[in-house]
């Protein structure tokens, strides 16, 4: 399944592979692309037909939550650029941070002494 099954004419797209992704649509077979010509962020594309509008796409790791397209890209092993890695890490940390409901875990994190071993602040990037 290493050939695209549908027409796709974006010159900036790199074909990744063809396959299924039930999280997107269990009944469809997709051609997956990463588009490298849409500004500073790459897009991930899942095409499911020849018609021009028969595709799903989104900026890779570009939304607040991990999108279904992001999950498909990650699950299938898309290699991330360094800045995409950073966005993924920040996103995962943010998802976890929002689960620190009763703040008890945060208090445990911040209690018991101060130590600083770097300049990254993924849990509280705006502090």
Binding residues for Zn ion, rule: CB under 5 A, are 10, 12-13, 35
Q: Which is nearer to Zn ion, 10 or 100 (CB)?
A: 10
Beta strands in 10-62 (DSSP E): 13-21, 26-35, 43-47, 55-59
Torsional sign, CA 50, 53, 54, 60: positive
Of 50 and 107, the one with the shorter C-beta distance to Zn ion is 50
Min dist CB 104 to Zn ion, Å, is 46
Nearer to Zn ion, 21 or 60 (CB): 60
Smallest separation, CB 38 to Zn ion (Å): 7
Assess contact for 54 and 48: CB atoms under 8 A.
Answer: yes
């Amino acid at each position: 399944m290493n050939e695209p099954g549908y027409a796709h004419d974006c010159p900036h797209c790199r074909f990744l592979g063809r396959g299924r992704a039930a999280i997107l649509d269990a009944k469809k077979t997709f051609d997956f692309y990463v588009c490298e010509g849409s500004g500073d962020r790459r897009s991930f594309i899942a095409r499911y037909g020849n018609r021009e509008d028969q595709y799903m796409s989104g900026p890779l790791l570009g939304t607040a939550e991990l999108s279904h397209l992001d999950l498909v890209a990650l699950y299938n092993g898309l290699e991330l650029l360094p800045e995409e890695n950073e966005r993924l890490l920040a996103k995962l940390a943010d998802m976890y941070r929002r689960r620190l409901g009763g703040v008890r875990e945060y208090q445990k994190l911040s209690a018991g002494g101060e130590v600083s071993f770097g300049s990254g602040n993924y849990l509280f990037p705006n502090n």
